[in-house]
Structure 1
Amino acid sequence: MIGILIPAHNEEALLGDCLEAAIIAASHPGLLRETVHILVVLDSCSDASAAIAEGFGVQCLHVQARNVGHVRGVGARHLLNQGVRWISCTDADSRVAPDWLVAQLALGTDAVCGTVTVDSWDESFDRTAQIRYHQAYQAHDGHRHIHGANLGVSAGAYVQAGGFEPLACHEDVQLVRNLERCGASIAWSHTPQVITSARLDSRAAGGFGGYLNGLLQSV
Protein backbone atom coordinates (compact mmCIF):
# COMPACT_ATOMS: atom_id res chain seq x y z
CA MET A 1 0.00 0.00 0.00
CA ILE A 2 1.00 3.57 -0.72
CA GLY A 3 -0.10 6.72 1.11
CA ILE A 4 -0.61 10.22 -0.22
CA LEU A 5 -0.48 12.80 2.57
CA ILE A 6 -2.04 16.25 2.08
CA PRO A 7 -2.23 18.84 4.89
CA ALA A 8 -4.90 21.51 4.43
CA HIS A 9 -5.86 24.72 6.18
CA ASN A 10 -8.73 26.62 4.53
CA GLU A 11 -7.94 25.38 1.03
CA GLU A 12 -11.41 25.37 -0.53
CA ALA A 13 -10.20 27.28 -3.60
CA LEU A 14 -7.54 24.77 -4.64
CA LEU A 15 -8.19 21.50 -2.81
CA GLY A 16 -10.54 20.08 -5.43
CA ASP A 17 -7.94 20.35 -8.21
CA CYS A 18 -5.33 18.86 -5.87
CA LEU A 19 -7.48 15.83 -5.07
CA GLU A 20 -8.52 15.27 -8.66
CA ALA A 21 -4.84 15.09 -9.66
CA ALA A 22 -4.00 12.82 -6.70
CA ILE A 23 -6.78 10.39 -7.61
CA ILE A 24 -5.53 10.21 -11.20
CA ALA A 25 -1.99 9.49 -9.96
CA ALA A 26 -3.31 6.81 -7.60
CA SER A 27 -4.99 5.08 -10.53
CA HIS A 28 -1.94 4.96 -12.81
CA PRO A 29 -1.60 1.55 -14.50
CA GLY A 30 2.09 1.50 -13.62
CA LEU A 31 1.14 0.92 -9.99
CA LEU A 32 -0.28 -2.48 -10.97
CA ARG A 33 -3.44 -1.79 -8.94
CA GLU A 34 -1.57 -1.37 -5.67
CA THR A 35 -3.86 0.21 -3.08
CA VAL A 36 -3.29 3.93 -2.56
CA HIS A 37 -4.71 5.72 0.49
CA ILE A 38 -5.25 9.45 -0.03
CA LEU A 39 -5.37 11.26 3.30
CA VAL A 40 -6.26 14.93 3.85
CA VAL A 41 -5.41 16.24 7.31
CA LEU A 42 -7.68 19.23 7.86
CA ASP A 43 -6.06 21.66 10.26
CA SER A 44 -8.33 24.25 11.89
CA CYS A 45 -10.45 24.64 8.76
CA SER A 46 -13.32 27.11 8.87
CA ASP A 47 -14.20 26.97 5.17
CA ALA A 48 -15.54 24.24 2.86
CA SER A 49 -12.30 22.22 2.75
CA ALA A 50 -13.78 19.31 4.73
CA ALA A 51 -16.86 19.09 2.53
CA ILE A 52 -14.71 19.13 -0.60
CA ALA A 53 -12.45 16.36 0.68
CA GLU A 54 -15.39 14.25 1.79
CA GLY A 55 -17.00 14.77 -1.60
CA PHE A 56 -14.00 13.13 -3.25
CA GLY A 57 -14.31 10.12 -0.97
CA VAL A 58 -10.79 10.37 0.42
CA GLN A 59 -9.78 9.79 4.03
CA CYS A 60 -9.93 12.82 6.32
CA LEU A 61 -8.55 13.64 9.73
CA HIS A 62 -9.41 16.79 11.68
CA VAL A 63 -6.87 18.49 13.94
CA GLN A 64 -6.62 21.88 15.64
CA ALA A 65 -2.93 22.68 15.54
CA ARG A 66 -2.03 25.40 13.01
CA ASN A 67 1.30 23.67 12.77
CA VAL A 68 2.18 21.94 9.51
CA GLY A 69 4.85 19.72 11.05
CA HIS A 70 2.37 18.39 13.60
CA VAL A 71 -0.22 17.89 10.86
CA ARG A 72 2.13 15.95 8.59
CA GLY A 73 3.26 13.86 11.55
CA VAL A 74 -0.32 12.96 12.50
CA GLY A 75 -1.08 12.05 8.92
CA ALA A 76 2.05 9.96 8.48
CA ARG A 77 1.33 7.98 11.66
CA HIS A 78 -2.20 7.32 10.47
CA LEU A 79 -0.95 6.01 7.13
CA LEU A 80 1.75 3.89 8.77
CA ASN A 81 -0.88 2.33 11.03
CA GLN A 82 -2.73 1.33 7.87
CA GLY A 83 0.36 -0.50 6.65
CA VAL A 84 1.63 1.72 3.85
CA ARG A 85 5.12 1.03 2.55
CA TRP A 86 5.63 4.47 1.02
CA ILE A 87 4.39 7.96 1.91
CA SER A 88 4.13 10.59 -0.81
CA CYS A 89 3.58 14.16 0.40
CA THR A 90 2.08 17.05 -1.48
CA ASP A 91 0.24 20.27 -0.64
CA ALA A 92 -3.37 21.29 -1.05
CA ASP A 93 -2.43 24.11 -3.44
CA SER A 94 -0.53 21.74 -5.73
CA ARG A 95 -1.32 19.28 -8.52
CA VAL A 96 0.75 16.14 -8.97
CA ALA A 97 1.44 14.62 -12.39
CA PRO A 98 -0.44 11.46 -13.44
CA ASP A 99 2.79 9.42 -13.14
CA TRP A 100 3.92 11.08 -9.90
CA LEU A 101 3.79 7.97 -7.70
CA VAL A 102 5.20 5.71 -10.41
CA ALA A 103 8.09 8.12 -10.99
CA GLN A 104 8.93 8.33 -7.29
CA LEU A 105 8.93 4.58 -6.79
CA ALA A 106 10.90 3.91 -9.98
CA LEU A 107 13.90 5.74 -8.54
CA GLY A 108 14.44 2.88 -6.08
CA THR A 109 15.66 5.02 -3.18
CA ASP A 110 14.63 5.47 0.44
CA ALA A 111 13.37 8.98 -0.27
CA VAL A 112 12.71 11.30 -3.19
CA CYS A 113 13.03 15.08 -3.17
CA GLY A 114 11.29 16.48 -6.24
CA THR A 115 11.03 19.90 -7.81
CA VAL A 116 7.97 22.09 -8.33
CA THR A 117 6.77 24.14 -11.28
CA VAL A 118 4.89 27.36 -10.60
CA ASP A 119 1.40 27.34 -12.09
CA SER A 120 0.89 31.07 -12.61
CA TRP A 121 2.46 34.08 -11.02
CA ASP A 122 0.61 36.44 -8.71
CA GLU A 123 0.15 39.76 -10.53
CA SER A 124 2.18 41.50 -7.84
CA PHE A 125 5.14 39.18 -8.51
CA ASP A 126 6.72 41.29 -11.24
CA ARG A 127 8.96 40.20 -14.09
CA THR A 128 12.17 41.07 -12.27
CA ALA A 129 11.21 38.88 -9.30
CA GLN A 130 10.31 36.03 -11.67
CA ILE A 131 13.73 36.26 -13.30
CA ARG A 132 15.40 36.12 -9.88
CA TYR A 133 13.37 33.02 -9.04
CA HIS A 134 14.32 31.17 -12.24
CA GLN A 135 17.98 32.12 -11.89
CA ALA A 136 18.11 30.58 -8.41
CA TYR A 137 15.93 27.52 -9.02
CA GLN A 138 17.58 24.25 -10.09
CA ALA A 139 15.00 22.56 -12.32
CA HIS A 140 17.11 19.47 -13.03
CA ASP A 141 18.27 16.20 -11.52
CA GLY A 142 20.77 16.70 -8.73
CA HIS A 143 19.05 19.83 -7.42
CA ARG A 144 19.05 20.43 -3.67
CA HIS A 145 15.52 21.76 -3.19
CA ILE A 146 13.20 20.31 -0.56
CA HIS A 147 9.45 20.76 -1.02
CA GLY A 148 6.70 19.29 1.10
CA ALA A 149 4.65 19.52 -2.11
CA ASN A 150 6.85 16.89 -3.79
CA LEU A 151 8.42 14.55 -1.29
CA GLY A 152 8.34 10.77 -0.96
CA VAL A 153 9.79 8.45 1.67
CA SER A 154 9.68 4.75 2.45
CA ALA A 155 7.95 3.75 5.67
CA GLY A 156 11.13 2.19 7.07
CA ALA A 157 13.32 5.21 6.39
CA TYR A 158 10.67 7.57 7.76
CA VAL A 159 10.47 5.70 11.04
CA GLN A 160 14.23 5.40 11.33
CA ALA A 161 14.62 9.16 10.81
CA GLY A 162 12.11 9.91 13.54
CA GLY A 163 9.34 11.25 11.32
CA PHE A 164 8.11 14.79 10.87
CA GLU A 165 8.88 17.06 13.78
CA PRO A 166 6.13 19.44 15.00
CA LEU A 167 7.69 22.51 13.43
CA ALA A 168 5.70 25.51 12.21
CA CYS A 169 7.70 25.43 8.96
CA HIS A 170 10.61 23.56 7.36
CA GLU A 171 9.45 20.25 8.82
CA ASP A 172 10.18 18.77 5.39
CA VAL A 173 13.73 20.10 5.44
CA GLN A 174 14.31 18.70 8.93
CA LEU A 175 13.03 15.28 7.90
CA VAL A 176 15.41 15.16 4.94
CA ARG A 177 18.33 16.23 7.10
CA ASN A 178 17.49 13.45 9.55
CA LEU A 179 17.23 10.98 6.68
CA GLU A 180 20.70 12.02 5.54
CA ARG A 181 22.08 11.52 9.05
CA CYS A 182 20.58 8.01 9.08
CA GLY A 183 22.33 7.16 5.82
CA ALA A 184 19.14 6.93 3.76
CA SER A 185 19.48 6.96 -0.01
CA ILE A 186 17.86 10.08 -1.45
CA ALA A 187 17.07 10.90 -5.07
CA TRP A 188 17.18 14.61 -5.90
CA SER A 189 15.08 14.27 -9.00
CA HIS A 190 13.31 16.52 -11.50
CA THR A 191 11.27 13.59 -12.80
CA PRO A 192 8.28 13.39 -10.41
CA GLN A 193 6.46 16.54 -11.50
CA VAL A 194 4.28 18.75 -9.29
CA ILE A 195 2.65 22.06 -10.22
CA THR A 196 2.18 24.46 -7.31
CA SER A 197 0.67 27.88 -6.77
CA ALA A 198 2.72 31.05 -6.46
CA ARG A 199 0.44 32.64 -3.91
CA LEU A 200 2.14 35.04 -1.57
CA ASP A 201 -0.28 34.53 1.34
CA SER A 202 1.14 31.15 2.25
CA ARG A 203 -0.52 28.97 4.88
CA ALA A 204 2.78 28.32 6.69
CA ALA A 205 4.94 31.33 7.48
CA GLY A 206 8.42 30.76 6.13
CA GLY A 207 7.33 28.25 3.51
CA PHE A 208 7.37 28.55 -0.28
CA GLY A 209 5.17 31.65 -0.22
CA GLY A 210 7.52 33.24 2.28
CA TYR A 211 10.45 32.52 -0.02
CA LEU A 212 8.62 34.17 -2.91
CA ASN A 213 7.82 37.17 -0.75
CA GLY A 214 11.49 37.46 0.08
CA LEU A 215 12.39 37.53 -3.61
CA LEU A 216 9.79 40.20 -4.25
CA GLN A 217 11.04 42.40 -1.44
CA SER A 218 14.66 42.09 -2.56
CA VAL A 219 13.91 43.46 -6.03
Structure 2
Amino acid sequence: MIRAAAVVVPAHDEGASVAACVAAVHRSLALAPLPPHRCHVVVVADGCHDTTAAAARLMDAHVLDVPRVGVGTARAEGVQYAMELCTGVRPGALWLASTDADTLVPPWWISSQLRYAEEGHDAVAGTVEVGDWSLRPEGLAAHFARRFPVTDGHAHVHGANLGVRASAYIDAGGFPGLVSGEDRALVERLTVRGHAVRRPADLPVLTSARRAFRAPGGFGRLLDDLEQGSV
Protein backbone atom coordinates (compact mmCIF):
# COMPACT_ATOMS: atom_id res chain seq x y z
CA MET A 1 0.00 0.00 0.00
CA ILE A 2 1.19 3.50 -0.85
CA ARG A 3 1.93 5.43 2.35
CA ALA A 4 3.28 8.71 0.95
CA ALA A 5 3.33 10.68 -2.29
CA ALA A 6 5.47 13.47 -3.69
CA VAL A 7 5.04 15.50 -6.86
CA VAL A 8 8.10 16.96 -8.58
CA VAL A 9 7.81 20.04 -10.79
CA PRO A 10 10.89 21.23 -12.72
CA ALA A 11 10.62 24.93 -13.52
CA HIS A 12 12.84 27.29 -15.51
CA ASP A 13 11.60 30.89 -15.33
CA GLU A 14 7.98 29.86 -14.80
CA GLY A 15 6.92 32.69 -12.49
CA ALA A 16 3.78 33.33 -14.53
CA SER A 17 2.43 29.79 -14.28
CA VAL A 18 3.98 27.93 -11.36
CA ALA A 19 1.48 29.12 -8.71
CA ALA A 20 -1.50 27.76 -10.64
CA CYS A 21 0.36 24.51 -11.27
CA VAL A 22 1.20 24.02 -7.59
CA ALA A 23 -2.33 24.92 -6.52
CA ALA A 24 -3.72 22.21 -8.80
CA VAL A 25 -1.22 19.69 -7.44
CA HIS A 26 -2.15 20.57 -3.86
CA ARG A 27 -5.84 20.03 -4.67
CA SER A 28 -5.06 16.65 -6.13
CA LEU A 29 -2.96 15.58 -3.15
CA ALA A 30 -5.67 16.77 -0.74
CA LEU A 31 -8.11 14.29 -2.32
CA ALA A 32 -5.68 11.37 -2.16
CA PRO A 33 -6.16 8.74 0.57
CA LEU A 34 -3.03 9.86 2.41
CA PRO A 35 -2.39 11.96 5.53
CA PRO A 36 -1.35 15.55 4.70
CA HIS A 37 2.07 15.20 6.34
CA ARG A 38 2.90 12.45 3.85
CA CYS A 39 2.10 14.54 0.77
CA HIS A 40 4.76 16.82 -0.68
CA VAL A 41 5.22 19.16 -3.64
CA VAL A 42 8.79 19.83 -4.75
CA VAL A 43 9.47 22.61 -7.24
CA VAL A 44 12.95 22.55 -8.73
CA ALA A 45 13.86 26.12 -9.66
CA ASP A 46 16.21 25.32 -12.53
CA GLY A 47 18.46 28.34 -13.05
CA CYS A 48 15.58 30.76 -12.58
CA HIS A 49 16.00 34.52 -12.89
CA ASP A 50 12.41 35.45 -12.19
CA THR A 51 9.83 34.94 -9.43
CA THR A 52 9.48 31.16 -9.84
CA ALA A 53 11.03 30.20 -6.49
CA ALA A 54 9.23 32.91 -4.53
CA ALA A 55 5.87 32.11 -6.10
CA ALA A 56 6.28 28.41 -5.38
CA ARG A 57 7.21 29.06 -1.75
CA LEU A 58 4.13 31.24 -1.34
CA MET A 59 2.11 28.21 -2.45
CA ASP A 60 3.69 26.03 0.29
CA ALA A 61 5.86 24.02 -2.06
CA HIS A 62 9.30 22.77 -1.12
CA VAL A 63 11.68 24.65 -3.40
CA LEU A 64 15.03 23.31 -4.52
CA ASP A 65 17.18 26.00 -6.14
CA VAL A 66 19.71 24.62 -8.64
CA PRO A 67 21.88 26.20 -11.33
CA ARG A 68 20.63 25.65 -14.89
CA VAL A 69 20.89 21.88 -15.31
CA GLY A 70 18.12 21.02 -17.77
CA VAL A 71 14.88 19.15 -17.29
CA GLY A 72 16.26 15.62 -16.92
CA THR A 73 18.66 16.49 -14.13
CA ALA A 74 16.12 18.84 -12.55
CA ARG A 75 13.54 16.04 -12.34
CA ALA A 76 16.14 13.66 -10.95
CA GLU A 77 17.31 16.11 -8.29
CA GLY A 78 13.71 16.87 -7.39
CA VAL A 79 12.96 13.19 -6.94
CA GLN A 80 16.03 12.73 -4.76
CA TYR A 81 14.91 15.64 -2.59
CA ALA A 82 11.40 14.22 -2.40
CA MET A 83 12.68 10.84 -1.26
CA GLU A 84 14.68 12.57 1.47
CA LEU A 85 11.50 14.30 2.62
CA CYS A 86 9.88 10.86 2.87
CA THR A 87 12.62 9.22 4.94
CA GLY A 88 11.08 6.39 6.92
CA VAL A 89 8.71 5.35 4.12
CA ARG A 90 9.98 2.28 2.32
CA PRO A 91 10.45 2.78 -1.45
CA GLY A 92 7.72 0.30 -2.31
CA ALA A 93 5.21 2.43 -0.39
CA LEU A 94 6.27 5.81 -1.83
CA TRP A 95 4.68 7.20 -4.99
CA LEU A 96 6.60 9.76 -7.06
CA ALA A 97 4.67 11.83 -9.56
CA SER A 98 5.91 14.38 -12.07
CA THR A 99 4.32 17.27 -13.91
CA ASP A 100 5.43 20.53 -15.54
CA ALA A 101 5.09 24.12 -14.36
CA ASP A 102 2.92 25.14 -17.34
CA THR A 103 0.51 22.27 -16.65
CA LEU A 104 -2.67 21.85 -14.60
CA VAL A 105 -3.42 18.41 -13.18
CA PRO A 106 -7.04 17.37 -12.47
CA PRO A 107 -8.27 16.89 -8.88
CA TRP A 108 -8.41 13.10 -9.27
CA TRP A 109 -4.88 12.85 -10.71
CA ILE A 110 -3.04 11.44 -7.69
CA SER A 111 -5.98 9.36 -6.46
CA SER A 112 -6.20 7.65 -9.86
CA GLN A 113 -2.48 6.97 -9.96
CA LEU A 114 -2.60 5.47 -6.48
CA ARG A 115 -5.53 3.28 -7.47
CA TYR A 116 -3.47 1.88 -10.33
CA ALA A 117 -0.57 1.38 -7.94
CA GLU A 118 -2.81 -0.64 -5.61
CA GLU A 119 -3.81 -2.77 -8.61
CA GLY A 120 -0.16 -3.71 -9.00
CA HIS A 121 1.18 -1.20 -11.50
CA ASP A 122 4.59 0.33 -10.86
CA ALA A 123 4.14 3.37 -13.09
CA VAL A 124 1.38 5.40 -14.72
CA ALA A 125 1.96 7.25 -17.99
CA GLY A 126 -0.91 9.64 -18.68
CA THR A 127 -1.65 11.90 -21.62
CA VAL A 128 -1.76 15.65 -22.21
CA GLU A 129 -4.40 17.97 -23.62
CA VAL A 130 -3.80 21.56 -24.67
CA GLY A 131 -5.82 23.99 -22.63
CA ASP A 132 -5.64 26.85 -25.16
CA TRP A 133 -4.84 26.39 -28.84
CA SER A 134 -5.09 30.12 -29.65
CA LEU A 135 -1.31 30.47 -29.85
CA ARG A 136 -1.22 27.99 -32.71
CA PRO A 137 -2.70 28.02 -36.23
CA GLU A 138 -6.33 27.10 -36.73
CA GLY A 139 -6.65 23.42 -37.46
CA LEU A 140 -3.58 22.31 -35.54
CA ALA A 141 -5.68 20.93 -32.68
CA ALA A 142 -7.57 18.63 -35.05
CA HIS A 143 -4.34 17.65 -36.79
CA PHE A 144 -2.74 16.83 -33.43
CA ALA A 145 -5.73 14.67 -32.44
CA ARG A 146 -5.53 12.73 -35.71
CA ARG A 147 -1.76 12.32 -35.58
CA PHE A 148 -1.63 11.30 -31.91
CA PRO A 149 -4.87 9.50 -31.01
CA VAL A 150 -5.40 8.51 -27.40
CA THR A 151 -6.69 5.07 -26.50
CA ASP A 152 -6.30 2.95 -23.42
CA GLY A 153 -2.84 1.40 -23.58
CA HIS A 154 -1.50 4.31 -25.69
CA ALA A 155 2.21 4.74 -26.40
CA HIS A 156 2.52 8.38 -25.25
CA VAL A 157 4.93 9.42 -22.49
CA HIS A 158 4.98 12.91 -20.96
CA GLY A 159 6.98 14.12 -17.99
CA ALA A 160 4.00 16.40 -17.36
CA ASN A 161 1.86 13.36 -16.53
CA LEU A 162 3.89 10.56 -15.03
CA GLY A 163 3.92 8.61 -11.79
CA VAL A 164 6.16 5.80 -10.54
CA ARG A 165 6.67 3.73 -7.43
CA ALA A 166 9.95 4.76 -5.78
CA SER A 167 11.27 1.18 -5.68
CA ALA A 168 10.72 0.82 -9.44
CA TYR A 169 12.24 4.25 -10.07
CA ILE A 170 15.37 3.27 -8.18
CA ASP A 171 15.57 -0.09 -9.95
CA ALA A 172 15.32 1.64 -13.34
CA GLY A 173 18.10 4.08 -12.51
CA GLY A 174 15.90 7.17 -12.26
CA PHE A 175 15.57 10.06 -14.68
CA PRO A 176 18.66 10.37 -16.86
CA GLY A 177 20.29 13.79 -17.12
CA LEU A 178 19.01 14.58 -20.60
CA VAL A 179 17.96 17.99 -21.90
CA SER A 180 14.79 16.31 -23.20
CA GLY A 181 13.42 12.78 -23.50
CA GLU A 182 14.20 11.86 -19.89
CA ASP A 183 10.59 10.80 -19.39
CA ARG A 184 10.59 8.37 -22.31
CA ALA A 185 13.98 7.02 -21.29
CA LEU A 186 12.74 6.24 -17.78
CA VAL A 187 9.59 4.50 -19.00
CA GLU A 188 11.59 2.47 -21.52
CA ARG A 189 13.94 1.36 -18.75
CA LEU A 190 11.02 0.50 -16.47
CA THR A 191 9.57 -1.68 -19.22
CA VAL A 192 12.89 -3.40 -19.86
CA ARG A 193 13.20 -4.13 -16.15
CA GLY A 194 9.78 -5.79 -16.15
CA HIS A 195 7.80 -3.16 -14.25
CA ALA A 196 4.10 -2.84 -15.06
CA VAL A 197 3.31 0.51 -16.69
CA ARG A 198 -0.35 1.57 -16.88
CA ARG A 199 -1.20 3.85 -19.82
CA PRO A 200 -4.74 5.17 -19.20
CA ALA A 201 -6.66 7.20 -21.76
CA ASP A 202 -8.85 8.88 -19.14
CA LEU A 203 -6.23 10.66 -17.03
CA PRO A 204 -5.11 13.70 -19.06
CA VAL A 205 -3.54 16.90 -17.78
CA LEU A 206 -3.92 20.34 -19.35
CA THR A 207 -0.72 21.83 -20.72
CA SER A 208 0.41 24.80 -22.76
CA ALA A 209 0.81 25.20 -26.52
CA ARG A 210 3.19 28.13 -26.05
CA ARG A 211 5.99 28.76 -28.52
CA ALA A 212 8.55 29.83 -25.90
CA PHE A 213 8.95 26.30 -24.61
CA ARG A 214 11.73 25.23 -22.22
CA ALA A 215 12.82 21.70 -23.21
CA PRO A 216 14.39 21.71 -26.71
CA GLY A 217 12.92 18.33 -27.66
CA GLY A 218 9.76 18.43 -25.58
CA PHE A 219 6.06 18.98 -26.26
CA GLY A 220 6.50 22.50 -27.62
CA ARG A 221 9.00 21.27 -30.18
CA LEU A 222 6.58 18.51 -31.17
CA LEU A 223 3.88 21.10 -31.85
CA ASP A 224 6.34 23.21 -33.87
CA ASP A 225 7.28 20.18 -35.95
CA LEU A 226 3.63 19.24 -36.42
CA GLU A 227 2.83 22.78 -37.52
CA GLN A 228 5.66 22.66 -40.05
CA GLY A 229 4.60 19.25 -41.33
CA SER A 230 7.83 17.51 -40.33
CA VAL A 231 6.15 14.82 -38.18
* TM-score after normalising by structure 2: 0.90
Letter of the aligned partner of 1:145 in structure 2? H
2:96 paired with 1:82: no
Tell me the alpha carbon deviations over residues 128-177 of structure 1, each in whole angstroms, 9 at most, x when there is no partner: 32222110122231111000000000000000000011000000000001
Q: Distance in 1 between matches of 2:170 and 2:21?
A: 27
Q: Distance in 1 between matches of 2:210 and 2:133?
A: 8
- Aligned residue pairs: how many? 217
Letter of the aligned partner of 2:149 in structure 1? Q
2:133 paired with 1:131: no
- The Cα RMSD (Å) is 1.4
Q: Distance in 1 between matches of 2:14 and 2:97?
A: 19
**Contact 1:169-1:206 at 8 Å conserved across structures:** yes
**Contact 1:122-1:199 at 8 Å conserved across structures:** no
Q: How does 1:128-207 map to 2 (within 5 A)?
A: 128-207=139-218
Q: Distance in 2 between matches of 1:151 and 1:32?
A: 19
Structure 2 SS opposite 1:31: coil
Gaps in structure 2 of 5+ consecutive residues: none
**Contact 2:47-2:68 at 8 Å conserved across structures:** yes
Q: Distance in 1 between matches of 2:194 and 2:55?
A: 39
Letter of the aligned partner of 2:84 in structure 1? N
Q: How does 1:2-13 map to 2 (within 5 A)?
A: 2-13=5-16
Shift in Å, 1:127: 2.3
Letter of the aligned partner of 1:119 in structure 2? G
Which of the numbers 179, 184, 209 marks the counterpart of 2:220?
209
Q: Distance in 1 between matches of 2:15 and 2:216?
A: 19
Structure 1 SS opposite 2:60: coil
**Contact 1:15-1:49 at 8 Å conserved across structures:** yes
2:48 paired with 1:45: yes
Shift in Å, 1:192: 2.5
Which of the numbers 126, 133, 138 marks the counterpart of 1:114?
126
Q: Distance in 2 between matches of 1:195 and 1:105?
A: 20
Structure 2 SS opposite 1:127: coil
Structure 2 SS opposite 1:3: strand
Shift in Å, 1:38: 0.4
Find the counterpart in structure 1 of residue 33 from structure 2: 31
Q: Distance in 1 between matches of 2:34 and 2:18?
A: 27
Which of the numbers 109, 117, 142 marks the counterpart of 1:100?
109
**Contact 2:48-2:68 at 8 Å conserved across structures:** no
Structure 1 SS opposite 2:42: strand
